Structures are given as C-alpha cells and as structure tokens.
Amino acid sequence: MRLDKVFFAWLSVAVSLYAANTEEAQVNEAAAVFDGVKPSEMRGGTWKVVYSSAEGPQGRALEVLTERLGPYFLREGHLATALVLPLEKDDGEPVKGKRDMIVVGIPSENAMLRRYLDCVAAWPYPTDIPHGGYLIKTLNEEGRNIVLIAGDTPEAVLWATFDFLDVVAPTLEGKVTSQHGRYAGMFFRTAKIPAYECRRQPQTLVRSIFSWGHVVDDCRATFREMARARFNRAILWNDQLVVNARDVVACAHSWGVNVYWGFSWGWTLSCHRQACG
C-alpha cells in the first residue's frame, strides 16, 4: 500500500473518532443545559445565593458568603480568583444558568425558604427555627443542591452564616472527599451534597465584651469577629466622648452588635473632691 493512502486512511479514522467524541460531548453538554445556559458558560460554577434582604446583619451575611466562598468557584489547581457569587432577590429576576443555590434569610420574608421548610402551616410561629436561633439544612432535590440558612432574626441569619462557613461546610467536606483538614471547597463541586440539618439557639441572651475603646484600631474587623463568635454587645470605655461615635454604632449594628459607651469613672471628665467624696 502506498504511503499516501496509509496516511489518508489514518487521517480519515482520526477525523471520524474526533467527530464522534465531539458529537458525544455536544450531546452530553446539551443534556446538561440548565435555564438555556451550557455548563461551559457557567463561569464561577453552578451556585447562586437567593436572599430576601440586604440590610443590616442580613446584608453582612451576603457579604461574608461572597467573601469566603467566591475564590472556590474559580479555582484551578492551587490558584483561585476572587468572584462575587451571583445574588438573586427572592422576588426578583432569576439568575439564569445557576442550578444550585444557597437560600439565606428569615422565612417570613423569603418565600423560597418557606417552600423548603416545614413551617408554612405553623407560620408566624414556625417550629422549625428555635426562638432567637437558626436552622441550617442541606439537601438535593432532583439534581439541584440546596443549602438553607434560616434565622429567627436578622442577627441569627448572620450567626447561621458564620456557623455554616466555619463548622458545617468543613464537616460535610469530609463526607465528600477523603481529604481532611483545611476546607478546600470540594463540598461545592460535588454533584450531590450530603444531607444535613441542625438547629441552634443561644443559651445566654446577652453575650458581651468589655474593653477600652482606644485599643480598637479597626472597629469593622472587631465587630465582624464578635459576630462570628456570636457576641451581641460591646461595652467600650474612653477618656472622652468618641468623635465618630455615630459611625461606630452604625457599624456595630450592621454586625448585630449593640454598643454601650462608658467614659471616665464617675461619668465626669473632672473629678472634684465634692463629686468624688
């Protein structure tokens, strides 16, 4: 057989195999299309966040979710690119092409949460969520992974978000992969996440810290870590009234923390004999 005939015969087989593989890939991708979007076009993975409010502690919950989870959805090897997860308002325009979702908020404000929680009949006093506490639930419904983060109050929504990121997701990570230790985001890359459910409620109504105000160099970072540790009151002492007190209080409230001011023992800036005894 001539060499040119062998070459063209081989080329014909290669083209046929490539066409078959390409066709199979196209069929598989077409079958996996969700909301008219192909998986290859789902930049940042298949997840979105469905919320009901972006105000106060609930807004901070969205901030924490996108801040902590964003890099995992554009990970290639040891490199990760920051990404803001798509946010979808509960009663707003749906985000196309995102099959899996994290639903976060208060059930009375979020119809999507009510759909997946057994609290519709009992509303406005749901039995699913403890008073002042929260519920975290993961499930898979017809191929769609769903994480429910529901709080009884805006502050509880934020606490639940931290609990999910710090404890629940890393714990479930071990059920998805044999790797243990540092949370690497495999939980959000599996086809079917493990089922999980927990309810938590504060055992102490007021959880506070006591500190001099001048040692708080970054109030945002301080209040963020307080919320992460479930504190809800900061007692701050200063030698004189803080000039940006209004901004500090607003920042604290956004993290679900109340501020109590203290300055100069005896509530006066000049201690006279008559005042101090």
Per-residue pLDDT of the chain in tens (277 residues, 90 and over written 9): 555 554 445 545 454 444 444 444 444 444 445 455 554 444 456 788 999 999 999 999 999 998 888 766 655 556 655 566 788 998 888 887 777 899 999 998 999 898 888 654 444 545 578 889 999 999 998 888 999 999 999 999 999 999 999 988 888 877 776 655 455 567 777 778 889 999 999 999 999 998 888 888 899 999 999 999 999 999 998 887 788 899 999 999 999 999 998 876 655 555 554 444 4
The answer to whether residue 238 sits within a structural domain is yes
Q: Are both 269 and 179 inside the same structural domain? A: no
Q: Same domain for 130 and 176?
A: yes
pLDDT at 17: 45
Say whether both 182 and 227 belong to one domain: no
**Nearest partner of 148 among 174, 126, 177, judged by Cα:** 126
Last residue of a domain, one of 154, 174, 200: 200
Give the domain-ending residue among 178, 200, 222: 200
Domain that holds residue 249: 208-276
* H-state helical runs in the chain: 3-31, 56-69, 111-116, 154-163, 169-176, 219-228, 245-254, 273-276
Chosen domain end from 175, 200, 225:
200
How many other C-beta atoms lie within 10 A of the C-beta of residue 144? Answer: 14
The total number of structural domains in the chain stands at 2
Residues 212 and 163 in one domain: no
Q: Are residues 107 and 187 in the same domain?
A: yes
